[in-house]
Structure 1
Amino acid sequence: MNTAEQFIKDRLESRANDGALRKLSSSHLPIDFCSNDYLGFARSIALKEQIDQELKENDLHQNGSGGSRLLSGNTAYTEETEFFIAAFHQAQTGLIFNSGYDANVGLLSCLAQRGDTIITDELVHASLVDGARLTHAGRYTFRHNDLNDLETKLKNAKGNSYVVTESVYSMDGDIAPLTEINALCEQYNANFIVDEAHAIGIFGQQGKGLVQQLGLQDRVFARIVTFGKALGCHGAAVLGSPALRQYLINFARSFIYTTAAPVHTIASVKCAYQMLTATDFTTLIRKKIKHYADLLNDTGHDHATPTPSAIQTLLFPGNAAAKLAAALLQDKGFDVRAILSPTVKSGQERLRICLHTYNTDEEIRQLASEISQLKNNE
């Protein structure tokens, strides 16, 4: 066995010994409290029919794009959709990337230069961490949602500085104090970048996001809006100024050196945005969130801290404890998954519960009842 193969086997064995070995699974239990399909768009027959009609009406029949957007893969339809998305979010322009990961890595890796500073919340998406790592800028983290710690880092920032947060955090479901962070950025002449992946469809009028709900759309430097969560599609867009869009076209490697998304993907995103305006989905999902929170408060579960987002967590420290808790709920038909270290810090292992418009009140009540039993079984 060569040394590379031995290295691989040793790393996998170590991960398995820690109870943290990841495996793919194609099985799905009957009652979904796991997926990011918060509004049910990914499973929506109405959306599929709307997409089919959009493709037919616009004679969009290609199976693939045929190349990168700087070569043969761009279309007028894609650019029109970008500006449609930007207008929806009250932004000047937008640029579509093939995934949220591509958007985050592409944006951060090309922006900050040697002598600049990137300051990220310690709990931001891995893609934002990876984007920052690809720069030669000074990199700092601040304690989660800690304004005092952020200000300390800002006082020491050099060059062009960028503060990066999520609006709704993917593992805890809590929200960032965006207004206060933005005020600090303005005070210290820093550029504020907000990842809205888990806020789109949930917060703001017609699900436009937390930035717009707070009226910050003209004050932040850039936003990343993701299509693979509440919109039920795939891809993402960076929203910002015309100069930022042109800069990304020229310098964001994850945009330049990849085959463009097929036009079917672009049409899907456009139709999903149109669907957001057709029904008051934010009210529907908020009713589910409140129902869950009320029931969890009644159980008095020590591990539960209900959030205002569609993401709810139950802490079960230790990979074994989290996997056992998930297995007990799965045995009852609930698709609830454990989030293990190293995805989260050791001691912060948890169940991550996602609420959806299609979860019935009775399903949520049953889940809360089973969660109460988890507490009693400890």
Structure 2
Amino acid sequence: MSLPINTYLQDDLNKRKDQALYRQLQINKDLIDFCSNDYLSFARCPKIKQKVKDSFNVAGRFSGSTGSRSISGNTAQAEDLEKRLARFHRAEAALLFNSGYDANLGLFSCIAKKDDFLVCDELIHASIIDGGRLSYASRLRFAHNDAYDLEKKLQHASGKIQNGQIFVAVESVYSMDGDIAPLKLISDLCKEYKANLIVDEAHATGVFGRQGRGLVSELGLEAEVFARIHTFGKAIGCHGAVVVGTEVLRNYLINFSRSFIFTTALSSHSLTAIESAYDQLLSEKFDNSYLHELICHFKSDFFIHPDFYLIESTSPVQSLIIPGNERARSISLALQAWGFDVRAILSPSVPVGKERLRISLHMHNSLKEVDNLKNTLNEILA
């Protein structure tokens, strides 16, 4: 006889607790933020807040979306914003999604078909993995940021494929390690093997490239990349995402992407928040150089316990490897007790033995706060 459903579920939760894998939601107040993805501090920007507030009083706009964009939820505001985003990111067209997860799920689940190959970096985001699973494409993984291993996988796919397409998926900046993909090498390989390159720019948007256009733009590779995903929940400081590419790709997603077709559209105030954030990027006053100065300052003179190490990264994501779920979690809690909001990332979110403190740096962090964090870390680990 089967167990009652709640007993069955609780058994799985208990196993997670026994393995030190149990997750709980927490709210930390009055802690110094070294945790969020708000790299440019846009989520707390008074100008953006005011514009969102004012948007509720615009004549003809609803507080809600009223439906999906294929039915009642499409607006001139959404279409104008997409045109603006396409121009900003130097693409032919753009299509908004409700989150980065929705964008990747919707793109990868419909773009790759049964006769196709999807070749992904082994550390690619879960949303791309899930999107690939929903497609019927054959899937291959290559060693993280390893162009040599990617070429081996492309050779394999090229030898097997008949009438299909090959897609290569990478992140420009990896969300857990904070390191950067060798995009020029990857782009050259894709061109050689006639593969379509897709780049998730979630953690590069606002941080790299002129006016925060992303790493693809910084390297001048826009014409070499089939699709880019720019999410707004990180440095842009709001919610949603956009896929940029060709007009054909936009029309294809409107017709085949289930996470676009069957979801409620972004509301007007969400669109206004995105517009306002991009106003900041386009402003003559926009300057993210302090963020990069802060990153260099954090890494300089970083002396730490010999059992641990910092992954090489020039992005705001700085990951300190502290093997073991319990050890990483206990150090994170100790830092929180000292007033620093630093969270542990545990397996299976990262590989076993690569558990870590994921330290995020922001425009609202001071040099003194960074120094105090490093000093406190050394005291805890001594």
Q: Specify the TM-score bucket, using the shorter chain as the normaliser.
A: over 0.9
Answer yes or no: is 1:269 the counterpart of 2:270. no
2:48 aligned residue? 47
Q: Does the 8 Å CA contact 2:231/2:241 hold for their aligned counterparts?
A: yes
Distance 2:193 2:332 in 1: 44
Partner of 1:345 in structure 2? 351
| Corresponding residue of 1:248 | 253
- Matched position secondary structure for 1:280: coil
Report the AA paired with residue 82 of structure 1. E
| Equivalent residue runs for 1:183-262 within 5 Å | 183-262=188-267
For residues 70 and 295 of structure 1, what CA distance do their matches in structure 2 show?
A: 54
Q: Does 1:320 align with 2:353?
A: no
In 2, Cα distance between equivalents of 1:291 and 1:93 = 38
Decide which moves more: 61-70 or 223-232.
61-70
Quote the residue 2:27 is aligned against: 26
What letter matches 1:64 in structure 2?
G
Q: Distance in 1 between matches of 2:270 and 2:48?
A: 13
Q: Which runs of 5+ in 2 are unaligned?
A: none
Q: 2:142 matched to which residue of 1?
A: 142
Do 1:319 and 1:349's aligned partners in 2 also have CA atoms closer than 8 Å?
Answer: yes
Letter aligned with residue 27 of structure 1 = N
The answer for unaligned runs of 5 or more in structure 1 is: none
* Deviations, residues 325-358 of structure 1 (Å, cap 9, x unaligned): 1012111100000000111111110000000000
CA contact (8 A) 1:55 1:267 kept: no
Q: How many Å separate the matches in 1 of 2:128 and 2:30?
A: 31
Shift in alpha-carbon separation, 1:328–1:60, aligned structure 2, 3 A: farther
Cα distance change of structure 1 residues 331 and 60 upon mapping to structure 2, 3 Å threshold: farther
- Cα separation, 1, equivalents of 2:311 and 2:126: 23
Q: Equivalent residue for 2:95?
A: 95
| Correspondence list, 1:259-338, <5 A | 259-278=264-283, 279-296=285-302, 298=303, 302-338=308-344
Count of residue correspondences: 374
Which residue of the partner structure matches residue 183 of structure 2?
178
Q: Work out whether residues 55 and 268 of structure 2, in 8 Å CA contact, stay in contact via their aligned partners in 1.
A: no
Q: Which residue of 2 aligns with 1:119?
A: 119
Give, in angstroms, the shift of residue 91 of structure 1: 0.7
1: CA distance, partners of 2:60 / 2:120: 40
- 2:40 is matched by which residue type in structure 1? L
Matched with 1:82 is 82
Q: Please state how far the C-alpha of 1:46 moved relative to its aligned partner.
A: 1.9
Query: Partners in 2 of 1:343 and 1:221 — Cα distance?
Result: 28
In structure 2, C-alpha distance between the alignment counterparts of 1:110 and 1:61, rounded to whole Å: 32
Using the size of structure 1 for normalisation, the TM-score is 0.96
Structure 2 CA distance, aligned partners of 1:355 and 1:216? 27
Q: Is the alpha carbon distance of 1:61 and 1:295 closer, same or farther for their aligned partners in structure 2, counting shifts above 3 Å?
A: farther
Alignment-mate amino acid for residue 303 of structure 1: Y
Q: Does 1:168 align with 2:173?
A: yes
What percent identity do the matched residue pairs reach? 48
> Does the 8 Å contact 2:86/2:92 carry over to 1?
yes
Answer yes or no: is the 8 Å Cα contact 1:36–1:229 preserved in 2: yes
Residue of structure 2 in register with 1:361 after alignment? 367
CA 1:3–1:188 in structure 2 vs 1: closer, same or farther (change >3 Å)?
farther
- Summarize the Cα distance change of 1:60–1:151 in structure 2 as closer, same or farther, 3 Å threshold: farther
For residues 371 and 351 of structure 1, what CA distance do their matches in structure 2 show?
11
Separation (CA, whole Å) in 1 of partners of 2:208 and 2:122? 23
Query: What letter is aligned with 2:281?
Result: L
Tell me: CA distance 1:59–1:284, structure 2 relative to 1, closer, same or farther (3 Å): farther
The code of the aligned residue for 2:37 comes to N
The CA distance in 2 between the partners of 1:321 and 1:153, in whole Å, is 36
Q: Would the aligned equivalents of 1:193 and 1:222 in 2 still touch at CA under 8 Å?
A: yes
Compare 151-160 and 180-189 and name the one that shifted more: 151-160
Which region of structure 1 is more displaced relative to structure 2, 58-67 or 85-94? 58-67
Q: Quick one: distance in 2 between partners of 1:94 and 1:210? A: 18
> How far apart in 2 are the matches of 1:60 and 1:235?
22
Cα 1:201–1:317, aligned 2, differ >3 Å: closer, same or farther?
A: same
1:296-349 Cα distance to aligned partner (Å, 9 max, x none): 2x5576422341000001111110010111012111100000000111111110
- Superposed CA deviations along residues 243-280 of structure 1, whole A, max 9, x for unmatched, are 00000000000000011111110111011011112233
State the Cα deviation string for residues 175-203 of structure 1 (Å, max 9, x = none): 00001000000000000000000001110
CA RMSD, 1 decimal: 1.5
Deviation at 1:54, TM superposition (A): 5.3
